[in-house]
Structure 1
């Protein structure tokens, strides 16, 4: 009998994993959802019949300018499907092309430029007809100061290009997010186009260590609540929300008032994304979701956190990530160096006293969660030797051998496989 093979997302394709003899695999995937047979037709319907708002044609009529937010290259959003139709409707309703800006909501990530920007936008027509620009969180003059949130005192500064636009639309992908509950919607605004002080407040230990700041949870989630308060400061904001399957094909799209439409999209996504698993496993094999999420070690950490609910205490989490671009930022690399030098407990104590987190150290803080629970093993074709040491996890050269070794170490032949990584949320006991 041929050995069983399981493909996990890796780079722009898949990594074929051979299930060792004697292993009983449990493969955790999203619940089946039909692909949209006519994505363009579904998009037209979304524009014509929005959630909690008039049709896009009416919204655009009489407006002098518009700003459309798009996620950066770390999210596989089908921008090439919807940007041109959205812009053409705006222009047909009287907004001049020169008054329309597509703004890449980079947060504190690097800008997307050149060929990468063309890939991100997905349609040369858009680049030829309107301005497409990046957000720079450290550009002081580029932000409008709204003061502080009433509930938790978060400083609120947002990109002037969005704030001053007559029509404001955020676009994005609705997927589980390991801190904010769900991506998309209000998160594209903050931290997407927020000033570094806003972002660094969100990522301080006060928020990060809150037990309700977890994937798929909005109730009482302090990050979500702050994001809603910030969006309401802007007044009238709309959103286009998408959900894609493991093949990156569209399975859902809606448009409308940003909060109401986002909640409708999260309800759809949750029905397929949260997957009940009846037991915990001493060995869990997962991915960082492939390209574009697994370009950096920074984003790889998300894949380590999402499946923790089904990892038995003291178990082994094996994650595959290409990491073609290294750590992601010098700041994150520096945080990892501190984590390795200090150890998890001392590193966390250095974070807890800060009101503003150092840039990108929050991802090192998130890595503490799987480190507290068990052993992390990383299979990657990227990273130089010194970079591998700075991950703070065990690097493996053979993922098949690592699975067999883990099974032998724990004396448990049952292994969970989560091929799509953080796009699936396994939940124990539901």
Structure 2
């Protein structure tokens, strides 16, 4: 049989013997919006837990709209024009509106990449579009610590705006449970000290800091506390299918509107599976998530619940931009030099994580469960820093895994971390 994995801007075919017991784990068909633009307009007029945006914006002089950076396939060209037009019609001056790219600690999005992220030339020509910089001390407002001690410093442009709106994609997230909503604020426009505190070993090692879990998730708890510190916000959330088509739009008070989107997508994105497998094949979800090895780690963690101890996790990722940040490369070097246990012992002693080392920490979850095999022909120079096995021929890697285990049952997750398989007994 043939299975197509999301890979780069297309798919990567994987041919498997018909005699094998292949379980393809994917979402049920999602209903798509027949009129996405109309759905956004309707959401803005009929919000959840807040007045319509046209009413909220009356008398406002400034507004800040957060958007995700280039690592997320958010249809900003759909979301931003009605947001900006509604603000303008309500009397907010164009010079008072800022679209702020919530980069967290990622690099800025500039030039043609910025055009791609915004997705609409009129928006670029009408209002300011700027990048967040988590390392710029003066660009942040100190709001004091949360109850658990996380320092809360957020981008001044967002904190001091009369209207604060976060936009984003709601999908599984391997640390915060679900992306979107409050996560676009923190880490999206948070200072380095805020991000590196609630991404330290203590938070990341918590058993509830996993995909599709909000209750008891310490990252989610801190994000909600940070929303309270800033005085609340609004959010426009979108859910998409595996072909990047909009399926749902919610708008309103940031927490309530985000939960509404989570409620919609949860039963599609989490798929009960009756057993664990010795061989699991997955992807890094294709472009833009699979541009770096850093983001590829999400795909390694997604199917962890169904990987048998000592099994093989085989993942395909384009990695067109290489490993990721220099800070992440340094974290990977420490993993290789110290080993899994030594690396974890080292980072457990710190209140502030080093930038991007949390991604290396998440990789160790899968390394402790089984063997990781990476198909990423474009990576080349960085391959030795991954700490995983090379799989230049994807089909051959799968055949070798089946030969090692003697078990012809294979699980395939074509959409990578956008679909989270869970053992049926756990789901129940």
Name the TM-score, length of structure 2 as normaliser.
0.98
Matched, 1:175 2:168: no
1:369 & 1:23 partners in 2: Cα distance? 28
Matched, 1:285 2:281: yes
Instruction: Tell me the distance in 1 between the aligned counterparts of 2:95 and 2:61.
Output: 10
1:22 positional shift: 3.0
Equivalent position of 2:308 in the other structure: 312
Q: Quick check: 1:33 aligned with 2:33?
A: no
2:81 pairs with 1:84:
yes
Q: Secondary structure, in 3 states, of the residue corresponding to 2:167?
A: strand
Asked whether the equivalents of residues 67 and 101 of structure 1 are also in contact (C-alpha less than 8 Å), the reply is yes
2:57 to 45, 56, 60: 60
Deviations 1:391-413 (A, max 9, x none): 00001110011111101100100
CA distance in 2, matches of 1:62, 1:25: 59
Q: List structure 1 runs of 4+ shifted beyond 3 angstroms.
A: none
Q: What corresponds to 2:347 in structure 1?
A: 351
Q: Are residue 11 (structure 1) and residue 1 (structure 2) matched? A: no
Matching residue within 368, 383, 388 for 1:388: 383
Secondary structure (helix, strand or coil) at the match of 1:343 reads helix
Instruction: Quote the Cα distance in structure 2 between the aligned partners of 1:96 and 1:236.
Output: 22
Query: Which of 396, 401, 405 does residue 406 from structure 1 map onto?
Result: 401
Task: Work out the CA distance in 2 between the residues paired with 1:109 and 1:82.
Answer: 22
Give the gaps of 5 or more residues in structure 2: none
Aligned to 1:361: 357
3-state SS of paired residue (1:403): helix
Q: Does residue 375 of structure 2 align to residue 379 of structure 1?
A: yes
Matched, 1:48 2:48: no
* In 2: Cα distance, 1:247 partner to 1:213 partner: 28
Could you tell me which of 241, 248, 251 is aligned with 1:252?
248
1:119 alignment partner in structure 2: 116
TM-aligned CA deviation for residue 62 of structure 1: 0.9
Instruction: Compute the displacement of 1:236 (Å).
Output: 3.5
**Aligned position for 2:263:** 267
Aligned pairs, number: 425
Distance in 2 of aligned mates of 1:340 and 1:18:
33
1:157 to 149, 153, 158: 153
Report the more deviating stretch, 94-103 or 14-23: 14-23
- The alpha carbon displacement at 1:20 in A equals 3.1
Report the counterpart of residue 70 of structure 2 in structure 1. 73
Cα deviation 1:237-259 (Å, max 9, x = unaligned): 10000000000000000100001
Q: Deviation per CA, 1:129-169, whole angstroms, max 9, x where unpaired?
A: 0000000000000000011001x100100000000100000
Cα distance in 1 for residues equivalent to 2:377 and 2:82: 39
- 1:37 alignment partner, SS class: coil
**Mapped contact 1:50–1:255 kept (Cα < 8 A):** yes
Alignment of 1:119-158 (within 5 A): 119-150=116-147, 152-158=148-154
Equivalent pair of 1:178/1:213 in contact (CA under 8 Å): yes
Are residue 240 (structure 1) and residue 236 (structure 2) matched?
Answer: yes
CA distance in 2, matches of 1:21, 1:89: 55
What is the deviation of 1:21? 5.1
Contact conserved, 1:84 with 1:123, CA < 8 A, in 2?
Answer: yes
Quick check: 1:208–1:362 contact (8 Å CA) kept in 2? yes
Q: Any idea what SS the aligned residue of 1:75 has?
A: coil
Query: What is the match of residue 326 of structure 1?
Result: 322
Which has the higher mean CA deviation after the structures are superposed, 232-241 or 282-291? Answer: 232-241
Give the C-alpha shift of residue 419 in structure 1: 0.3
What value does the CA root-mean-square deviation take over the aligned residues?
Answer: 0.7
Mapped partners of 2:387, 2:373: distance in 1: 10
TM-score normalized with structure 1 length: 0.98
Show CA shifts across 1:64-101 (max 9, x none). Answer: 11000000000000000010111011001000001000
Q: Distance in 1 between matches of 2:230 and 2:144?
A: 12
Give the Cα–Cα distance (whole angstroms) in 2 for the partners of residues 197 and 86 of structure 1.
31
Q: Name structure 1 gaps, 5 residues minimum.
A: none
Secondary structure of 2:109's aligned partner: coil
